[in-house]
């Protein structure tokens, strides 16, 4: 692993930095209402199209799929420089750009790739993820949403939950059970579902902060062409593992960069309100800073591995486990430093503390990640 920048990478960084300096102000501020999902989609889509037109969309996507064919290291530089410049975060489009798109590149048919990948890169298509169900979250393979074959179509019935951005999505990466008699990991298929299909009901869920980024989605005799299936029938669990490798391996990078800003802000607040005089607070801040530095180094290691293999490895689970647990500790320290002012739900530190609770659940719980680390990295016996 060589973490030093080459001459080409340095030129790429400098050119990108100069472009961002002009492009971010030209885009203008985002919507005043951070819960106006249609406006947020429009704002993010404009930014994605600006990236596309400037040659910065899909930095590490292969050229044949409309990307730039650059290295994972240059993708990491893109994320780092974008965060430094205050560019819009990938919130509405994250499913398509960060794991549905890469999964399609790895597993989809040529026709499916041609239909969706260019539109995802241009910002024309927004995706959501239909994986979790009320009775199948951590134990995702227990999902019960059925897809019954009827000629050239599947008829889907069931329910999904915690579906990010479903209310503004065009397509859903959907896991369905196509063989109820098979062992639970063997009877699942991965399909592309247009969200305008008749029979879909979307009900936004309001979180404690007033956001409605998640929805529960119901399917009543929803007909999906068999041609929309990615991979073989009943091979969806394997394909979902490809999706998870991208979700755990690279999708949290931008958020981690934001954590550096949160930690700097927390240090400044501590110095301003006198809690900095507490040696325990200074020690906790120092440990969090060391954790972030170590996680950034691990990210670079995972990127180096992806440069060789094309897919993030199980190191993504190590990152996801430690990062989510670290963010909980950061949130707890923020509440200690802020004291009575921590009742303000609009404060960025309070919002971060509330959000940190979800991180130990999203993209696989910490318990699931420990099993993956124990079994696939350490070689421990599998859980019965």
Torsional sign, CA 327, 328, 333, 336: positive
- Catalytic site residue from 247, 255, 336, 375: 247
List the alpha helices (DSSP H) in the chain.
7-27, 37-54, 72-85, 94, 101-107, 110-122, 236-249, 253-273, 279-309, 315-338, 348-359, 366-372
Count CA atoms within 13 Å of residue 31 on its CB side. 14
Phi-psi region of 28 (alpha: psi -120 to 50; beta: other; left: phi over 0): left
Can you tell me whether residue 87 is helix, strand or coil? Answer: coil
State how far the Cα of 17 lies from the Cα of 12, in Å rounded to an integer.
8
List Cβ neighbours of 174 (8 Å cut-off, separation of 6 or more).
130, 145, 156, 160, 190, 191, 192, 193, 224
For 171, the enclosing helix (H) or strand (E) is strand 171-177
State how far the Cα of 172 lies from the Cα of 185, in Å rounded to an integer.
21
Residue positions counted in the chain? 384
β-partners of residue 225 are 153
State how far the Cα of 83 lies from the Cα of 332, in Å rounded to an integer.
24
> What is the phi/psi pair of residue 168, to 5°?
-125, 15
β-partners of residue 189 are 176
List Cβ neighbours of 61 (8 Å cut-off, separation of 6 or more).
67, 68, 69, 101, 102, 105, 117, 121
How far is CA 98 from its chain centroid?
6
Residue with tokens 């398509």: 96
For 159, the enclosing helix (H) or strand (E) is strand 153-164
User: In terms of DSSP bridges, do strands 127-130 and 171-177 run parallel, antiparallel, or are they unpaired?
Assistant: parallel
β-partners of residue 130 are 174
Please indicate whether residue 375 is annotated as part of the active site: no
Active site residues: 247
């Amino acid at each position: 692993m060589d973490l030093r920048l080459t001459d080409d990478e340095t030129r790429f960084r400098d050119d990108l930095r100069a472009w961002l300096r002009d492009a971010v102000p030209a885009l203008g501020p985002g919507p005043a209402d951070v819960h106006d999902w249609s406006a947020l989609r429009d704002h993010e889509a404009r930014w994605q199209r600006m990236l596309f037109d400037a040659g910065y969309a899909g930095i590490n996507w292969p050229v044949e799929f409309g990307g730039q064919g650059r290295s994972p290291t240059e993708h990491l530089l893109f994320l780092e420089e974008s965060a430094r410049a205050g560019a819009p975060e990938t919130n509405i489009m994250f499913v398509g750009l960060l794991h549905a798109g890469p999964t399609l590149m790895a597993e989809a048919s040529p026709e499916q790739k041609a239909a969706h990948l260019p539109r995802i890169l241009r910002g024309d298509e927004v995706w959501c993820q239909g994986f979790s169900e009320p009775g199948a979250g951590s134990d995702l393979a227990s999902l019960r949403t059925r897809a019954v074959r009827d000629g050239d179509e599947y008829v889907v019935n069931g329910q999904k939950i915690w579906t990010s951005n479903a209310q503004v999505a065009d397509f859903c990466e959907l896991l369905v059970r196509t063989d109820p008699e098979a062992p639970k990991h063997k009877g699942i298929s991965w399909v592309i579902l247009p969200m305008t299909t008749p029979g879909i009901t979307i009900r936004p869920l309001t979180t404690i902060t007033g956001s409605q980024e998640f929805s529960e989605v119901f399917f009543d005799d929803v007909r999906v062409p068999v041609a929309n299936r990615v991979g073989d029938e009943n091979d969806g669990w394997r394909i979902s593992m490809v999706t998870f490798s991208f979700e755990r391996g690279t999708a949290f990078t931008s958020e981690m960069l934001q954590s550096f800003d949160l930690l700097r802000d927390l240090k400044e607040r501590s110095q301003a309100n006198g809690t900095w005089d507490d040696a325990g607070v200074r020690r906790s801040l120092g440990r969090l800073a060391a954790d972030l530095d170590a996680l950034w180094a691990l990210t670079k290691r995972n990127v180096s591995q992806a440069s060789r293999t094309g897919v993030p490895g199980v190191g993504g689970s190590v990152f996801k486990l430690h990062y989510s647990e670290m963010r909980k500790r950061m949130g707890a320290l923020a509440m200690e430093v802020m004291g009575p002012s921590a009742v303000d739900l609009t404060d960025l530190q309070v919002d971060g503390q509330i959000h940190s609770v979800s991180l130990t659940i999203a993209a696989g719980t910490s318990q699931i990640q420990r099993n993956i680390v124990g079994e696939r990295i350490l070689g421990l016996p599998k859980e019965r």
